[in-house]
Chain A
Amino acid sequence: MSAVIFDITFSNGIGSAEVLIVKGGKPVDDFKFSQTGHHVSDLPPGFYIVTLTGNSQGAEFLISEPSTPSTPDNFNAGVIAKGYVLNIKNP
């Protein structure tokens, strides 16, 4: 298992976001941010798709593991809607 840190920073106002992590078509983790902060998910090795959705006046999203597309990822003011592919390898 790998501890993957998901970090979000909202700026210029309040924001909120939801993160859905799926593997093989099945939800693995689903959590929300109502302000700047981070969340740790324990993920076994494999391929995951992380979907980030929300709204903000500006935001930066960071995943502690390499992803495609890469992070940190910056968002302008508006709706956030993006997916990331994670490959968690054996430690």
Chain B
Amino acid sequence: MKKLFCLLYPVPLILILQVSGVAQTGVRTKTDSVNEIRSAAHRASGNSKDVLASFFQLAFNDLTTNREFNLNSNLFAIKLKTNPSLSIDTNFVRQTFARNSNIMISVKLDTNFNFTGAKAGYKYAIVNNRDYAVSKLYNARVLQEAGGHLKALRQINTEISARFPDSTAIPLVLEINSFFNDTTVTFGTLSPTAQQLVKSYFLSDNMKFDNSWNARRDLNQIVNRIMDEYHKKLLWTVAASFVTNSSARFTDVNMSTEATAGMLEINPRNFIEFTIKADLTFSGDSLTGQQNLKRQVLTSQFGFNWVNRGADKKPFMEFEAAGGFDYIPNVMYPGEQRTKLMFTGTFRIRISNQFWIPVDIKYDPGAGKVFGFLSVRSNFDLLNRLFGRL
């Protein structure tokens, strides 16, 4: 066990829960459902995925010194694996608790990849205003903004039915369907009859009747814009975990809370979100070896995370700057300060849809020291694809 991890590093792909596909006749397959969840999660910032994983997150933290192998699993994603019917709306809306829950498991290794301890915990989002999938307000807003397009389609098909009351309507219906569902079918490629129908029922706007215009692109922009707003809403979690040492003896208890929300959109590709974290750890006295949890360390942090997105609106690069302090109310070690200020910078870059590399830099102004931590984080199904399970 102790040496096993040297075989796995730097290939952290094997010890992962796989999401397998189960097809049900006449129903969207599990793969379709997983794809939808995955697609929505890609637009969330790397910071927000650290606060609450929407699927599975695998992380190698602090690769250079005290290595930690961490798996965050969303409880709903686990349940969906064994019960695909949970994706159906009437079941889905009853899974709020599971969707807002993360189960965390960590294994700690020393510089020689020897096992030094493990950690298990649970996190719950007490405020998750980003859960647009079950928001009636979100649904209503999309329908309102897309209402003009949808009304136009109903009117167009009604007129087709009047003019072509038999099978001769089929080519025109299919052509109009393509204009509303295929982003490559532009207004300029439509037949004269289809163009006349579209012009009749959309608002008279010269810009709209450009030959490159496509109705599905309009609809996608509406959805993406509203979805982006929801991705910036408040997310607030609370968590508890316990830590054991290499002898599987219980050592620490940790309670924490985190919150993040978008606060400033600089332009369509850049926005800033704030982050607040507070952490209270109860541990034993490592000098005396007593496991009495009397030593307490309170850590708090407040910062801003700048998110840079690509043209596809998926976050590509992030930089978080935060300041905070540690406070030790009792059981201080010799030479330790009761209160310590700390500044942290975290740079995250997305390598692929699921794969992030965060680099943490911490500055202790009291000691004048700078610490660096390199990690690797995969919000996977990258791993499922590599193993061909989906």
Contact = CB atoms under 8 A, between A and B. Distances in A.
Contacts of B89: 9-15, 35-36
5 contacts: A13-B134, A14-B139, A18-B150, A25-B165, A54-B143
Contacts of B267: none
A18 B90 CA distance: 18
B39 interface: yes
A69 B93 CA distance: 31
Given A11-B89, A14-B136, A81 B173 contact: no
A49 to B, nearest CB: 4
A52 B249 CA distance: 60
Interface of B: 26-28, 32-33, 36-37, 39-40, 87-90, 92-93, 132-136, 139, 142-143, 146, 149-150, 153-154, 157-163, 165-167, 169-170, 173-174, 176-177, 180-181, 215-216, 219-220, 222-223
A22 B39 contact: no
Interface of A: 9-16, 18, 20, 22-27, 35-36, 46-49, 51, 53-55, 57-60, 62, 68-69, 72, 74, 76-79, 81-85, 87
A78 B220 contact: yes
Contacts of A13: 89, 92-93, 132-134
Contact of B150 (A53, A62, A69): A53
Nearest to A8: B89
A25 B36 contact: no
A85 B167 contact: yes
Task: Give the secondary structure class of B's interface.
Answer: helix
Task: Give the secondary structure class of A's interface.
Answer: strand
Given A47-B167, A54-B150, 18 more contacts: A10-B88, A11-B28, A11-B33, A12-B37, A12-B89, A13-B93, A14-B92, A14-B133, A23-B165, A26-B161, A46-B165, A51-B153, A53-B150, A55-B223, A78-B223, A79-B223, A81-B150, A85-B173
